[in-house]
Amino acid sequence: MGEVILTMKGIDKSFPGVHALDHVDLEERKGEVHALMGENGAGKSTLMKVLTGIYKKDSGTITYEGKEVEFHNTREAQDAGVVIVHQELNMLGHLTVAQNIFIGREFKKGIRIDDKKMNEEARKLFDRMNIDIDPRETMSNLTVGKQQMCEIAKAISHDAKVIIFDEPSAALTEAEIAELFKIIRDLREQGLGIIYISHRMDEIKVITDRVTVMRDGTYVGTLVTEDSTKDDIINMMVGRVIYEDPKTENMTPKDAPVVLKVEHLNAGKMVQDVSFELHKGEILGFSGLMGAGRTETARALFGADPIDSGDIYINGKKVTIKSPQDAVRNGIGYLSEDRKRFGIVVQKTVAENTTMATLDAYANGPFINKKKEKEVAEKYVESLATKTPSVDQLVVNLSGGNQQKVVIAKWLTRNSDILIFDEPTRGIDVGAKNEIYKLMNQLAAEGKAIIMISSEMTEILRMSDRIIVMCEGKKTGELDISEATQENIMNMATREIN
């Protein structure tokens, strides 16, 4: 680790009614990967927005390369060498890689854009990162992982001295993450300061040098990663110890009946000949890499995408599912991986979202009984411990974990017996994650059958009674939890087919 390049001291920022940052400190050295951790809403993003000039700080100082600075917009920050790599990729799919990297500052020859030079420069950047991407390739043809690399290349091309990674691994496969880490290490070697925001505890241990933890807009402390344990960090984040051991045995009763049987399901390229059974009270984990066809299987099962062929039996009876309506009628509930797009109606209230799937039960003919609706919403807010000031709150104002609880409530009001949780804890902070896990266990104990799709190995191992592994649209393995290990799952998930 080299000399200090960036110091933020006593940063304070208030929004109307909210004290978002309360005298937060952060110190970044050259050649250091510095993790910034905290639950959702702890103020990490706000702090980074203050740094890069999106928000104006109320008080405090930012010292960068020995001088006190204040950036007024991201452009100024970029020009000075402070660049952020966003979690959501801001890529223009129809342009080429090079065009994306140099957007807004294209090389020109007269009035003509010099694409050749841009391609050469992009190539140099990739060489420096030791990766192989064709700068002339159209962006939308690249995998998410490769797109992320381009985003990093774009950051480096600004002659960056400090790069902020905002949850860079959220959408990446294990292999891509490994590649990302290699790049980050290279950049560290070159003396750049790296601020790394992530929820994934195991990554923090692997890649970072120091960890700064925030909680509720305040600075909690900074640790040297090597000298601290996971539990130390989590304790600082949430102030309590979290149980995170894998499940060791199948908790499903031996005589539990099969509630869902899927035979030879085919739906597009991503679902090929998938068969499985789901028992009452069971949590069936679906593991696999990104793009293995797990979500597609769930969507086909739920009628969201058309089924080409295959049979579905619910409680032994063959059913036809052509639309989500059919699925809901048959007692299936689906909690999408992308809550904002598919799960909730953000501009509607908690109560309205809760009854979205069951409005008939709270309506007399076409008329909604708002009193009854409110009652049931309040009931679930209480039983799921959803944190919301009232059921009239707009869902957009809730945190990820609480939004997820609203979606769960939606399916519970429907009395769905089969619940499909697709990445149930994505974007949810550690504390809320645990509550979701507890809830899922409780639901299983009550006799609901649960399918859980997850890309997090620890989540799969901790929650599942049985595990189905998919790879490239096909089922490549089925394991009881007692025989599952990270290694054999990963083996199946990367198995070459044919």
Partner 1 sequence: MANKTVTKTAGTNKSFIDRMGGQKFIVLLIVIALFIFFCAMSPGFRKYTTVVSILDYSYYITLMAIGVAFPLMTAGVDLSIGTGLVCYSLIGGYLIVHQGWPTGAGMVVSILLGVLFGILNGCLVAIMELPPFLATLCTCMITRGVGSVVVGGFGIPWPTAAAPGGWFRSIFKIQVNGMNIPIGFLWIILIVIIMTFVLNHTKMGRYTLAIGSNKEATRLSGVNVRFYHIMAYVICGFFAGLASISYSAIFATVQPGSGAGFELEAIGGAIIGGVSMTGGVGSITGTLAGVFVICLLKTGLPFIGLTANWQQIITGLVLIVAVLFDILKRKKEGK
* Binding residues vs partner 1 (CB under 8 A): 15-18, 20, 40-41, 216-217, 302, 304, 324-325, 327-329, 334, 336, 341-348, 352, 356-357, 359-360, 363, 366-368, 370, 387-390, 393-394, 396-399, 402, 410, 414
- Minimum distance, C-beta of residue 450 to partner 1, in the bound complex (Å): 17
154 CB burial (10 A radius; 0-12, 13-18, 19+): buried
The CB-of-294 to partner 1 minimum distance in angstroms stands at: 16
Least separation in angstroms between CB 389 and partner 1:
5
Q: What is the dihedral of CA 388, 390, 391, 397, to 10 degrees?
A: -50
Q: How far apart are CA 73 and CA 51, in angstroms?
A: 9
Cα 90 to Cα 437: distance, rounded to the nearest angstrom: 32
Residue position matching structure tokens 């790394």: 196
For residue 197, the cross-strand partners are 36, 166
Instruction: Give the residue with the Cβ less far from partner 1, 22 or 311.
Output: 22
Nearer to partner 1, 285 or 333 (CB): 333
* Dist CA 386 CA 402 (whole Å): 5
Asked if residues 132 and 177 have their Cβ atoms less than 8 Å apart, the reply is no
Taking the complex as a whole, the smallest distance from the CB of residue 19 to partner 1 amounts, in Å, to 9
Work out how close the CB of 41 gets to partner 1 at its nearest, in angstroms, rounded to a whole number.
4
Task: State the nearest-atom distance from the C-beta of 371 to partner 1, in Å.
Answer: 11
How far is Cα 420 from Cα 108, in angstroms, rounded to an integer? 52
CB 388, min distance to partner 1, A:
8
- Nearer of residues 22 and 65 to partner 1, judged by Cβ: 22
How many angstroms separate the Cα of 319 from the Cα of each of 80, 277, 324, 333, 424?
A: 62, 15, 13, 15, 26
Distance CA 27, CA 414 (A): 50
- Taking the CA atoms of the chain, what radius of gyration do you get in angstroms? 24
Identity of the residue, 287 or 355, whose beta carbon is nearer to partner 1 in the bound complex: 355
Q: Measured from the CB of residue 59, what is the shortest distance to partner 1 in angstroms? A: 19
Q: Which is nearer to partner 1, 89 or 363 (CB)?
A: 363
Q: Which is nearer to partner 1, 108 or 370 (CB)?
A: 370
Question: Is the Cβ–Cβ distance between 288 and 296 less than 8 Å?
Answer: no
Cβ-based nearer residue to partner 1, 87 or 488: 87
- Nearer residue to partner 1 within complex by CB, 262 or 428: 428
Which lies closer to partner 1 via its Cβ, residue 238 or residue 304?
304
Nearer to partner 1, 355 or 464 (CB): 355
Residue 94 or 370: the one with the smaller Cβ distance to partner 1 is 370
Query: Minimal distance in Å, beta carbon 266 to partner 1?
Result: 21
Contacts of 247 (CB under 8 A, 6+ apart): 461, 462, 463, 464, 465, 481
The nearest distance, CB 169 to partner 1, in angstroms, is 21
Shortest distance, position 397 Cβ to partner 1, whole Å: 4
Cβ distance to partner 1 smaller for residue 448 or 462? 448
Q: How far is the CB of 330 from partner 1 (least distance, A)?
A: 10
CA quadruple 162, 166, 171, 174: dihedral positive or negative? Answer: positive
Q: Which residues of 266-302 are buried (b: 16+ CB within 10 A; e: fewer)?
A: bbeebbbebebbbbbbbbbbbbbbbbbbbbbbbbbbb
